[in-house]
Amino acid sequence: MRSSLVRSIQIISRSSLPSRTKFNPPLHQVAKVAAKTVQPTIIDTLTQRKAAGAASWPANLRIEPVVKKGDLKNVHATIRLRLKQMLREA
79 in any annotated domain: yes
User: From CA 81, how far away is CA 69, in angstroms rounded?
Assistant: 12
Residue 72's domain comprises: 26-87
In the three-class reduction of DSSP (H, G, I as helix; E, B as strand; rest coil), residue 66 is classed as: coil
30 in any annotated domain: yes
37 half-sphere exposure, CB direction, 13 A CA radius: 6
Torsion 16-22-28-32 (CA) sign: positive
Residue 1 has pLDDT above 60, yes or no: no
15 in any annotated domain: no
pTM of the model: 0.42
56 in any annotated domain: yes
User: From CA 12, how far away is CA 10, in angstroms rounded?
Assistant: 6
Number of domains in the chain: 1
Mean pLDDT over all residues of the chain?
80
